[in-house]
């Protein structure tokens, strides 16, 4: 970037939500740094990461918030949701209880945020096909019923990670322009 470069600036706050250990932190580290950690505690403490994406020649900053593990205690604060214009609501396709938990996360998102939130339902760990407990169809149906985008991803093998985040960012951009 050159000094004095004047232009429109976009900063979008996007939150990651979903039950513990579904892969939220790894989705973010895969997207932001192309890294994957087998140790789930590795990214605790990171509040958010900013990723710059270009849309129609404009620089868009996606500020993506990670829960830092507090979802274990059902204590994701209202500050976490405040001002969010996008969300990835994540479950683990190999653990049905995390899919059953989605409704609660969607309710929390709706009560904590009164604006339009571009939301993607994400079925993560699609590399674990051999121990799948939630079908692609079930994910699709829920997303359709709730009016959400839907994608299955793998933070491990990188499937759909980029496109999942970029679809949300793109939708936010389209919502405001
Ligand atoms: P979080 O609690 O939702 O932030 O989940 P983490 O990102 O900490 O991941 C929890 C565990 O799942 C870790 O052991 C990760 O290595 C693992 N994990 C995350 N994403 C994937 C994935 O796409 N595939 C597989 N097989 N494991 C994953
Ligand atoms: Mg985490």
SS (H, E, C) the chain: CCCCCCCCCEEEEEEEECCCCCCHHHHHHHHHHCCCCCCCCCCCCCCEEEEEEEECCEEEEEEEECCCCHHHHCCCCHHHHCCCCEEEEEEECCCHHHHHCHHHHHHHHHHHCCCCCEEEEEEECCCCHHHCCCCHHHHHHHHHHHCCEEEECCCCCCCCHHHHHHHHHHHHHHHHC
CA of residue 156 to ligand 2 center, whole Å: 14
Q: Is the pLDDT of residue 2 over 80?
A: no
Q: Is the pLDDT of residue 4 over 50?
A: no
CB of 40 shorter than 6 A to ligand 1: yes
pLDDT computed for residue 126 by the predictor:
98
Answer yes or no: are the C-beta atoms of 84 and 169 closer than 8 Å: no
The β-bridge relationship of strands 86-92 and 48-55 is unpaired
> What ipTM was estimated for this complex?
0.99
Q: Which ligand is nearest to the CA of 156?
A: 1
CA of residue 8 to ligand 1 center, whole Å: 36
The stretch 15-21 carries a mean pLDDT of 94
pLDDT computed for residue 41 by the predictor:
60
Confidence of residue 112 (pLDDT cuts 50, 70, 90): confident
pLDDT computed for residue 136 by the predictor:
98
CA of residue 43 to ligand 2 center, whole Å: 7
Residue nearest to atom 6 of ligand 1 (CA): 23
CB of 156 shorter than 6 A to ligand 1: yes
Q: How far is CA 90 from the centre of its chain?
A: 7
Instruction: List CB-based neighbours of ion ligand 2 within 5 Å.
Output: 24-25
Answer yes or no: are the C-beta atoms of 85 and 115 closer than 8 Å: yes
CA of residue 26 to ligand 1 center, whole Å: 6
pLDDT in tens, 25-83: 999 999 998 888 887 664 555 589 999 999 989 999 999 999 877 777 766 778 899 99
* Residue 126 burial by Cβ neighbours in a 10 Å radius (0-12, 13-18, 19+): buried
Q: Is the pLDDT of residue 114 over 80?
A: no
Confidence of residue 177 (pLDDT cuts 50, 70, 90): confident
pLDDT computed for residue 149 by the predictor:
98
Q: Is the pLDDT of residue 113 over 90?
A: no
CB of 42 shorter than 6 A to ligand 1: no
pLDDT computed for residue 106 by the predictor:
96
Q: Which ligand is nearest to the CA of 31?
A: 1
pLDDT computed for residue 1 by the predictor:
45
């Amino acid at each position: 970037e050159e000094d004095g470069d004047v232009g429109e600036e976009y900063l979008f706050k996007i939150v990651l939500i979903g039950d513990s250990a579904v892969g939220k932190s790894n989705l973010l580290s895969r997207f932001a740094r192309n890294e994957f950690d087998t140790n789930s505690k590795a990214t605790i403490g990171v509040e958010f990461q900013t990723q710059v994406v270009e849309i129609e020649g404009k620089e868009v900053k996606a500020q993506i918030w990670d829960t830092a593990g507090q979802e274990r205690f059902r204590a994701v604060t209202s500050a976490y949701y405040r001002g969010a214009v996008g969300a990835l609501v994540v479950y683990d396709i190999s653990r049905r209880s995390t899919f059953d938990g989605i409704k609660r996360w969607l309710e929390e998102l709706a009560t904590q945020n009164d604006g339009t939130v571009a939301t993607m339902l994400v079925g993560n760990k699609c590399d674990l096909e051999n121990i799948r407990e939630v079908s692609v169809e079930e994910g699709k149906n829920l997303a359709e019923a709730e009016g959400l985008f839907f994608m299955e991803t793998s933070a491990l093998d990188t499937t759909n990670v980029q496109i999942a985040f970029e679809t949300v960012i793109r939708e936010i951009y389209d919502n405001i322009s």
